[in-house]
Amino acid sequence: MKCEHYEFRTCPKCGKCYCERSSISREDNETLICPDCGTREALASIGVSKEEQEQILEIIHRNA
């Protein structure tokens, strides 16, 4: 994986290595998590089920 702009971090929520810009967890407003988990938390907060969250992430990745 190429990483030009950000340093590698490991997401504490899903354990994935990522180098995109971090999201801040809504749970404590300080834990840095990967953009996917940021999206998951945002979707969960509006009542989207886990299954739907993964489907939405798949669509986001496909369009990226």
Least gap, CB of 2 to Zn ion (angstroms): 19
Residue 40 is a binding residue for Zn ion (CB under 5 A): no
Strands 23-24 and 17-18 come out as unpaired
Nearer to Zn ion among residue 14 and residue 42 (C-beta): 14
Find the binding residues for Zn ion in span 45-64 (CB under 5 A): none
Q: Cα separation of 18 and 34, whole Å? A: 6
Q: Which stretch binds Zn ion (CB under 5 A): 3-11, 24-32, 41-49, 53-61?
A: 3-11
Tell me the chain's radius of gyration from C-alpha atoms. Answer: 12
Determine the distance from the C-alpha atom of residue 31 to the mean position of all C-alpha atoms in its chain, rounded to a whole number: 12
Query: At residue 47, what is the residue type?
Result: G
Binding site for Zn ion (CB under 5 A): 11, 13-14, 34, 37
